[in-house]
Amino acid sequence: MLPLWSGKPYIKKTVVKFLIVFVVLLVLLLLVHPLLALAWVVFSAVAFTIYYYNKMAYTYHITEKTIRIDKSWVFGNYVRELTFDQIRDVHVMQGILARAMNCGSLTFVTTTGLEVGYVGTAAGKGVVVGGARPRLMVWRGGRFWDIKEPQKVREILMSKIPEWREAAQQQRIATSLEKITEGKPQTASIASELERLKRLLDEGVITKEEFERAKKKLLE
């Protein structure tokens, strides 16, 4: 099955950002000492090469069922996959240069809350404790990093999330009903199971049709 969208980090923004920083610092260091400027040139060449290949090792996919983040390079492989029902929200993150070049990062907030921390004291990688104000915990392994047209990609995701939340909810309901109707006489009476079904109906967890179907199975 072909993905709804696939992409890689937009490297043009990375190059432009690097050149701006490189030239500014080179000019300043030349005013201080030529050897410092030479050291900066060597360091920049090595650092940019590593950064470039690290960034281009990522590939992103949106399929009918999941989003997937792949990373494959000389230092190893990384894969993260999320089903749409696990995603609570999608944030577009853009700086001034990113907005000018119509690119940016998509950061995902999942139902596990792993991408949300709190302003306070850091306690381990990617975890912040203390304080009361929540904030996004940005990490490259959990986002689409510097992609083109991030707003458009977000729209693709947001159009699929309600559909998959509904599908996941229906699956949970079906599983719950199946467990109810398969209950053993020694662990639960028919009357108590009917009361449980009625409670699910009153709470809006199941529909009238699902209630009647499960009720019929119990009485049979």
Residues 152 and 191 in one domain: no
Tokens, residue 87: 């995603």
Q: Residue for token digits 């009357």?
A: 191
Residues 141 and 208 in one domain: no
List the domain range (segments joined by +) for residue 155: 5-161
Give domain status of residue 169, yes or no.
no
Residue 40 near residue 25, CB atoms below 8 Å: yes
**What pLDDT is recorded for position 138?**
65
Q: Specify the number of domains making up the chain.
A: 2
Kindly report the pTM of this predicted structure.
Answer: 0.68
Residues 28 and 120 in one domain: yes
Q: Which residue has the higher pLDDT, 118 or 68?
A: 68
Reported confidence tier of residue 220, pLDDT bands at 50, 70, 90:
low
Residues 119 and 54 in one domain: yes
Residue 58 near residue 51, CB atoms below 8 Å: no
Residues 100 and 188 in one domain: no
Q: Residue for token digits 């991030």?
A: 150
Strand partners, 69: 60, 80
Give domain status of residue 113, yes or no.
yes
Residue (of 70, 94, 69) closest to 157 by Cα position: 69
Query: Tens digit of pLDDT for each residue in 6-29?
Result: 999 999 999 999 999 999 999 999
What angle do helix axes 190-202 and 208-219 make, rounded to 10 degrees? 180
User: DSSP state, 139?
Assistant: -
Residues 134 and 202 in one domain: no
Residues 72 and 112 in one domain: yes
Residues 83 and 154 in one domain: yes
Amino acid identity at 205: V
Query: Tens digit of pLDDT for each residue in 77-126?
Result: 888 888 877 787 888 989 899 999 999 999 888 776 666 554 444 444 44
Identify the helix (H) or strand (E) that includes residue 166: helix 150-181
Residues 34 and 130 in one domain: yes
Half-sphere exposure of 89 (CA within 13 A, CB side): 10
Amino acid identity at 27: V
**What pLDDT is recorded for position 90?**
86
Residues 84 and 193 in one domain: no
| Rounded CA separation 111/85 (Å) | 8
pLDDT at 60 over 50: yes
Query: Tens digit of pLDDT for each residue in 90-100?
Result: 889 898 999 99
Residue (of 146, 49, 56, 72) closest to 106 by Cα position: 146
Cβ contacts of residue 143 below 8 Å, gap of 6+? 69, 93, 105, 106, 107, 108
Give domain status of residue 156, yes or no.
yes
**What pLDDT is recorded for position 42?**
96
Residues 70 and 133 in one domain: yes
pLDDT at 187 over 90: no
